[in-house]
Structure 1
Amino acid sequence: MFLDVLRRRNPSFIEAAIRLHQEGRIPANSFVLDLDAVEENARLFRAAADRHGLKVFAMTKQVGRNSGFCQAIMRGGIDRAVAVDMACAVACDRAGLKVGHLGHLVQIPRFEADMAASRLRPDYWTVFSREKAGEAAAAAKRAGRTQDLMARIQTAGDTFYRGHEGGFPADKVADVAAMIDALDGARFAGLTTFPALLFDQEKRKVLPTHNLTTLARAAAALAKGGRGDIEINAPGTTSSIVLDILAEAGATQCEPGNGLHGTTPLHAVEDLPERPAMLYLTEVSHLHQERAYCFGGGLYIDPVFPDYDVKAIVAAEPTASAGALASVEIPSTSAIDYYGMIDTTGQVKPKTGDSVVFGFRGQAFVKRGFTVGVSGIARGEPRVETIENPFGVAQDWPELR
């Protein structure tokens, strides 16, 4: 889905990735990051957020919490992360990126709350229930601090992905705020939901969800009761050009993820300010009948898109040419993606060892691929900076660098 925009807007990235792979410096089954473009994207996103008065927390799960990525966005002016779970928070903290928001989307397990409060010390901590609020407050008290808690709220008509449900009733928001303020070790800081924005496939636009209206109404109710200075956290499908929607709805926080590497759904249909800075690279393993089999491990088609003809660049020499494109069959989500199957009946004739480049909207943290940060592409001197697993842990393959 993103290979076309990659070829048009960042062809040198594709060429550099193939060159480094063919030199033995990048392993097969790798989510590769153009760190120069990531830094550039972070800088323009930071500027846009500043114009709207929005705090920025970067989501790093899509790139496997890669430390090179974390450091690139810090150079671009974003110094806080939103952690999808504790593993994400620990990886960001290890990379030097402070945790700005914890507990959303995944709540903090009871026996990990002390580590969250004392070691990670997030700026904001989201809770879905009275019990989770109590655990966070108690852990913060033991750590000798007062924790700002965000309450996730919900009401009829709100959108949640299956398995993501949870939150306080929006019409009880005043009681929720009072309950949190009454906890020793906690302070009510504001409200959140997910998703506040979603890509509409038919209209090919990013539009507000009912959840964003729920946030605005709840904030108005709190203001009417004398609570006007609160945080409104509104994540989902965030690129720099949708920040005006969030600001107009009263949001004070935004959380770009795919936007920082140019792979939100809107990036696939429009040329947005952020350049594509992520690709998936693998290698042809063997040929069988009329298919060439490439190593998998990170093959991922985001379900936000309808089915489409998946293509990849297959080549032994650096290229972003359309002449190197071949159709590829990806295993269904019910199967382990040991291999992808490349069509060999067209003009591209794959050979064992050829590089294979896809343009996926990655979710590296749910796959088993490596994440690889590459610097110097912008000046024509590409260099591998990091080879890590999906938990942001460096892999001991120095000979590949």
Structure 2
Amino acid sequence: MFLDLLRRRNPAFLRAAAQLHHSGQLPANTYALDLDTVGANATAIKREADRLGLTPFAMTKQIGRNPDFCRTVRDAGITEAVGVDLQCALAAHQGGLRTGHLGHLVQIPRHEAATAAALRPRYWTVFNDAKAGEAAAASAALGRDQALLARIVAPGDTFYRGHEGGFDADDIVAVADRLDALDGARFAGITSFPAQLFDKATGKVLPTPNLTTLQKAAERLRAAGREHVELNAPGTTSVAILPMLAEAGATQVEPGHGLTGTTPWHAVEDLVEEPAVLYVSEVSHLHGKYAYVFGGGLYVDPVLGLGSTRALIVRGGDFDSAQLVDVEMPAPEAIDYYAMADLSNATGVAPGDTVIFGFRPQAFVTRALTAGITGVRSGAPAVAGVYAADGSVPIGLDDSADTASTESAAS
């Protein structure tokens, strides 16, 4: 689905990726990122967030916390990241983004609270009193007063299976008082996820019951005398959804796929953000009517359902002769060593040919590489650096990547 979007809205990126892979600068099994477009998308989100009085925190897990991506987003004005877990927060910090929010979705393990506190997060989400106590104690040891967000839940709220948990929303006033009483912490606000989701029937992003739960809890807190309550409302965030969130009372938003133009809404409607990510591989070998394509990063985010997949096969870097083929992806329960491209309607395909996919990624759960590409819009594309899916530099690449990593860690 996103391959069609790339072909229509960012064909120069496809062409650049094909050329860079053919020349050996872009390895197979790599998520390539058009940094020019990422910067433009981040600028648009930050501008609208500022207009509406919202604070944006960048979600970087889906592109492997790539340091060049992090710096691009930071330079566009989004200077803080949300860490989906502690490892994510550490990687984004190394990439040059301060920690704006951590603990949500994944709580911080007990013996790692000190590491989390050392990041000096602006906000730290807790699901219960035990986790609040750990966060407070770790922060107090550093002489800090940590702002805590309480994850809340009410009957009828929507959660992905395995994401459940949080304080009873009906008890939020008492919860806030308990968090305020902790040495080293204070109550700052509330959060839930997802606060909005893409609705296939309407083709739009709509609020979930969780957003109503947040609004009602905020009303209780204000009635109890708390004048300012942070309301963190993540989920399917793009420029198009920000006015609705601001009207609902949100104060914090967390763009992730919006930064690469790959939210579900982008798949069905042209929004402000343009597509800025693709997956590059190559043909390993031929067998029967199939070209076997190197995998490693063939995890397609199932939010849109597991539909059919297509790819472009490019011979010799000549993008004008690219052939569109159907691809049989590995089963979800299988290791993705290869995908199989059907060559029934393709000719002349050979080992080493470039293969380009366009799908919604979650690079951090794969063994893929990530690489930022500069200069796509100016017609002078170049690889900024190649990194592993955790944001580190993989062994065996040239010194330029090592230099990029050192600069990233120092920034």
Which category describes the TM-score, using the shorter chain as reference length? over 0.9
How far residue 321 of structure 1 moved from its aligned partner, in angstroms, is 5.9
How far residue 312 of structure 1 moved from its aligned partner, in angstroms, is 0.3
Amino acid at match of 1:85: D
- 2:28 maps to which residue? 28
C-alpha distance after superposition, 1:115-137 (max 9, x if no partner): 1112x000000000000000000
Matched, 1:243 2:242: yes
> Contact between 2:385 and 2:400, CA under 8 Å: does it hold in 1?
no
> Contact between 2:315 and 2:322, CA under 8 Å: does it hold in 1?
no
- 2:233 maps to which residue? 234
Q: Could you say what secondary structure the match of 1:243 adopts?
A: helix
- 2:132 maps to which residue? 133
Q: Aligned partners of 1:320, 1:174: CA distance in 2, in Å?
A: 60
Q: Could you say what secondary structure the match of 2:303 adopts?
A: coil
Amino acid at match of 2:176: A
- 2:95 maps to which residue? 95
- 2:341 maps to which residue? 342
Matched, 1:264 2:263: yes
Matched, 1:151 2:150: yes
Amino acid at match of 2:226: R
Q: Aligned partners of 1:234, 1:306: CA distance in 2, in Å?
A: 24
> Contact between 1:3 and 1:358, CA under 8 Å: does it hold in 2?
yes
> Contact between 2:314 and 2:322, CA under 8 Å: does it hold in 1?
no
> Contact between 2:313 and 2:322, CA under 8 Å: does it hold in 1?
no
CA, structure 1 residues 308+78, in 2 after alignment: closer, same or farther (shift >3 Å)? same
How far residue 303 of structure 1 moved from its aligned partner, in angstroms, is 1.5
Q: Could you say what secondary structure the match of 2:107 adopts?
A: coil
Matched, 1:215 2:218: no
Matched, 1:206 2:209: no
Q: Write out aligned runs for 1:162-201 (5 A).
A: 162-201=161-200
| Cα root mean square deviation, aligned | 1.3
Identity value in percent = 56
Q: Aligned partners of 1:10, 1:22: CA distance in 2, in Å?
A: 19
CA, structure 1 residues 288+135, in 2 after alignment: closer, same or farther (shift >3 Å)? same
Q: Aligned partners of 1:30, 1:207: CA distance in 2, in Å?
A: 33
Larger CA deviation: 300-309 vs 45-54: 300-309
Q: Aligned partners of 1:98, 1:250: CA distance in 2, in Å?
A: 25
Amino acid at match of 2:174: D
How far residue 399 of structure 1 moved from its aligned partner, in angstroms, is 7.2
- 1:123 maps to which residue? 122
- Give the number of equivalent residue pairs: 400
How far residue 354 of structure 1 moved from its aligned partner, in angstroms, is 0.6
Q: Aligned partners of 2:321, 2:192: CA distance in 1, in Å?
A: 41
Q: Aligned partners of 2:400, 2:283: CA distance in 1, in Å?
A: 18
TM-score (normalizing by structure 1) = 0.98
CA, structure 1 residues 400+300, in 2 after alignment: closer, same or farther (shift >3 Å)? farther
C-alpha distance after superposition, 1:229-287 (max 9, x if no partner): 01000000001100011111100000000000100001111111111000000000000
How far residue 301 of structure 1 moved from its aligned partner, in angstroms, is 2.1
> Contact between 1:14 and 1:319, CA under 8 Å: does it hold in 2?
no
CA, structure 1 residues 96+306, in 2 after alignment: closer, same or farther (shift >3 Å)? closer
- 1:279 maps to which residue? 278
TM-score (normalizing by structure 2) = 0.95
> Contact between 1:25 and 1:400, CA under 8 Å: does it hold in 2?
no
How far residue 290 of structure 1 moved from its aligned partner, in angstroms, is 1.1
Unaligned runs of 5+ in 1: none
- 2:404 maps to which residue? none
Q: Aligned partners of 2:43, 2:265: CA distance in 1, in Å?
A: 20
Q: Aligned partners of 1:366, 1:323: CA distance in 2, in Å?
A: 29
Q: Aligned partners of 2:371, 2:348: CA distance in 1, in Å?
A: 27
Q: Could you say what secondary structure the match of 1:156 adopts?
A: coil
Amino acid at match of 1:253: Q
Amino acid at match of 1:207: L
Give the 4+ runs in structure 1 shifted more than 6 A. Answer: none
How far residue 3 of structure 1 moved from its aligned partner, in angstroms, is 0.3
C-alpha distance after superposition, 1:358-394 (max 9, x if no partner): 0010000001100111111111111111111111002
- 2:331 maps to which residue? 332
- 2:107 maps to which residue? 107
Amino acid at match of 2:326: S
Amino acid at match of 1:13: F
Amino acid at match of 1:28: A
C-alpha distance after superposition, 1:65-100 (max 9, x if no partner): 000000000111110000011111111111111000
Q: Could you say what secondary structure the match of 1:304 adopts?
A: helix
- 1:294 maps to which residue? 293
How far residue 302 of structure 1 moved from its aligned partner, in angstroms, is 1.9
- 1:9 maps to which residue? 9
C-alpha distance after superposition, 1:158-179 (max 9, x if no partner): 0111111110000000010001
Q: Aligned partners of 1:317, 1:262: CA distance in 2, in Å?
A: 29
Amino acid at match of 1:11: P
Q: Could you say what secondary structure the match of 2:304 adopts?
A: coil
Q: Aligned partners of 1:319, 1:249: CA distance in 2, in Å?
A: 50
CA, structure 1 residues 322+202, in 2 after alignment: closer, same or farther (shift >3 Å)? farther
Q: Aligned partners of 1:311, 1:223: CA distance in 2, in Å?
A: 52
> Contact between 2:67 and 2:92, CA under 8 Å: does it hold in 1?
yes
